[in-house]
């Protein structure tokens, strides 16, 4: 599962990518500095691991990781092959969710691809390029279904849906904004559309804008616009985040408190990205290791066991499960067991975020 950073050139994608991943990729104020994608696996901040480590005193603590890709910038006309054009679009096709970075900061030393800062216009520009790429896909799909419907009338409906979707995209609206029944949405989800991927908008602000964001018009407008897609806008100052990363812990705590924050923006943004990709964590705890494991939401117990080792899935018998809050409230597994809070779950159990699990198996 991968999250792609998408946006116009010089909006701060690589700066943000570095702040999130510590990868140290090259940034500059020349458009198209990032020609090859930057890729990094990032530990997902999870305070629950520290709590469990306090209970177990493990030799090792292993967080979950999320994969981020900083995708080379696009400009107007990408869908017609301009700039890095099709290559850029192909990279977006491969990711499971999109972090759409929008430049809010003003800086005359940093060239703006569209002349001057205008967050709402830039959001449109990028979304229009993605819509144009999707129009072709929807058109092809409708044509294919129409042809196949000559032999199988049941496919007429599919042809109709994709034609309606194509017309909707023609109006410059994303597939996320297309009103459809749950059944039709499943059909559309099956199609590799760029504007149907889960998206989180990231408003990259100057420090002043960030401090005064509750009254900063363009940020508030972005929030309203994103609502129609069921999407959120995350406010951040990429430059500041990078500075926060470089501070020692004491300075960092003071600085965050002064900004009215309880954790760095990067931590929250990584957590939101993880969630956006449809991922969650279950936990295992013991003296050798306390660890978070990544699964897709909706995963059942045997498949979750398989993340640890294939044998655990093959020989799955039961899962001993206790919720993180129950376990920490009791202080130990033994105390949680005594209170009847450790459940035995079978093959059909759907895992929950924060389950602390011990799998019983036999091979």
Would you tell me which residues interact with ligand GDP (CB under 6 A)?
Answer: 7, 9-15, 27-29, 33-34, 73, 105, 107, 110, 204, 206, 237-239
Long-range CB pairs of 352-355 (<8 Å, 24+ gap) are: 352/280, 352/282, 352/323, 353/280, 353/281, 353/282, 353/297, 354/48, 354/281, 354/282, 354/283, 354/323, 354/324, 354/325, 355/282, 355/283, 355/321, 355/322, 355/323, 355/324
Q: Is 195 in the site for Mg ion (CB under 5 A)?
A: no
Nearest distance, CB of residue 174 and ligand GDP, angstroms: 21
Q: Is 242 in the site for Mg ion (CB under 5 A)?
A: no
Residue 347: φ, ψ to 5°: -65, -25
Q: Is 15 in the site for Mg ion (CB under 5 A)?
A: no
317 makes contact, choosing from Mg ion, ligand GDP, none, with CB < 5 to 8 Å by partner type, with none
Q: Is 79 in the site for Mg ion (CB under 5 A)?
A: no
Nearest distance, CB of residue 102 and ligand GDP, angstroms: 10
Nearest distance, CB of residue 220 and ligand GDP, angstroms: 19
11 makes contact, choosing from Mg ion, ligand GDP, none, with CB < 5 to 8 Å by partner type, with ligand GDP
Nearest to 284 by CA among 295, 293, 275: 293
Residue with tokens 């809070």: 341
Nearest distance, CB of residue 167 and ligand GDP, angstroms: 33
Q: Is 18 in the site for Mg ion (CB under 5 A)?
A: no
Residue from 34, 174, 284, 313 touching Mg ion (CB under 5 A): that is 34
Q: Is 10 in the site for Mg ion (CB under 5 A)?
A: no
Part in contact with Mg ion (CB under 5 A); list of ranges 26-34, 100-108, 152-160, 222-230: 26-34
Whole-angstrom distance, CA of residue 73 vs CA of residue 6: 7
DSSP label of 74:
-
294 makes contact, choosing from ligand GDP, Mg ion, none, with CB < 5 to 8 Å by partner type, with none
| Under 8 Å between Cβ of 172 and 129 | no
- For 325, left (φ over 0), alpha (ψ -120 to 50), or beta? alpha
273 makes contact, choosing from ligand GDP, Mg ion, none, with CB < 5 to 8 Å by partner type, with none
- Of the two residues 196 and 242, which places its CB atom closer to ligand GDP in the complex? 242
Q: How far is CA 336 from the centre of its chain?
A: 34
Nearest to 10 by CA among 137, 135, 105, 120: 105
Nearest to 297 by CA among 97, 48, 122: 97
Whole-angstrom distance, CA of residue 278 vs CA of residue 141: 26
313 makes contact, choosing from Mg ion, ligand GDP, none, with CB < 5 to 8 Å by partner type, with none
- Of the two residues 11 and 64, which places its CB atom closer to ligand GDP in the complex? 11
Nearest distance, CB of residue 14 and ligand GDP, angstroms: 3
| Under 8 Å between Cβ of 2 and 69 | yes
Q: Is 14 in the site for Mg ion (CB under 5 A)?
A: yes
| Under 8 Å between Cβ of 296 and 321 | no
Nearest distance, CB of residue 323 and Mg ion, angstroms: 41
Nearest distance, CB of residue 264 and Mg ion, angstroms: 21
Residues that bind Mg ion (CB under 5 A): 13-14, 34
């Amino acid at each position: 599962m991968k999250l792609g950073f998408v946006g116009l050139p010089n909006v701060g994608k690589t700066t943000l990518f570095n702040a999130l991943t510590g990868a140290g990729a090259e940034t500059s104020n020349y458009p198209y500095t990032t020609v090859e994608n930057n890729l990094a696996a990032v530990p997902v901040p999870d305070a629950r691991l520290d709590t469990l480590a306090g209970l177990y005193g493990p030799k090792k603590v292993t967080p979950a990781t999320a994969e981020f890709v900083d995708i080379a910038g696009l400009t107007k006309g990408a869908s017609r092959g301009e700039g890095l054009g099709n290559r850029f679009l192909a990279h977006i096709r491969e990711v499971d969710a999109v972090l759409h970075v929008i430049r809010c900061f003003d800086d005359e030393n940093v060239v703006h691809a569209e002349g001057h800062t205008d967050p709402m216009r830039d959001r449109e520009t990028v979304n229009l390029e993605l819509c144009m790429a999707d129009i072709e896909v929807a058109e092809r799909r409708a044509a294919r279904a129409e042809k196949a419907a000559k032999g199988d009338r049941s496919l007429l409906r599919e042809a109709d849906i994709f034609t309606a979707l194509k017309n909707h995209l023609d109006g410059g609206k994303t597939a996320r904004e297309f009103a459809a029944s749950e059944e039709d949405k499943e059909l559309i989800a099956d199609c590799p559309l760029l504007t149907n991927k889960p998206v989180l908008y990231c408003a990259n602000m100057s420090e002043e804008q960030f401090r005064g964001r509750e009254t900063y018009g363009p940020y508030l407008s972005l929030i309203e616009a994103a609502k129609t897609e069921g999407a959120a806008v995350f406010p951040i100052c990429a430059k500041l985040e990078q500075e926060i990363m470089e501070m020692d812990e004491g300075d960092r705590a003071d600085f965050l408190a002064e900004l009215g924050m309880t954790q760095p923006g990067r931590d929250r943004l990584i957590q939101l990205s993880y969630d956006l990709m449809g991922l969650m964590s279950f936990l295992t705890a013991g003296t050798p290791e306390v660890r978070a494991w990544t699964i897709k939401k909706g995963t059942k117990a045997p498949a979750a066991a398989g993340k640890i080792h294939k044998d655990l899935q093959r020989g799955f018998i039961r899962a001993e499960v206790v919720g993180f809050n129950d376990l920490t409230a009791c202080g130990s597994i033994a105390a949680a067991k005594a209170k009847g809070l450790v459940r035995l779950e079978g093959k059909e159990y759907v895992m929950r975020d924060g389950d602390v699990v011990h799998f019983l198996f036999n091979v």
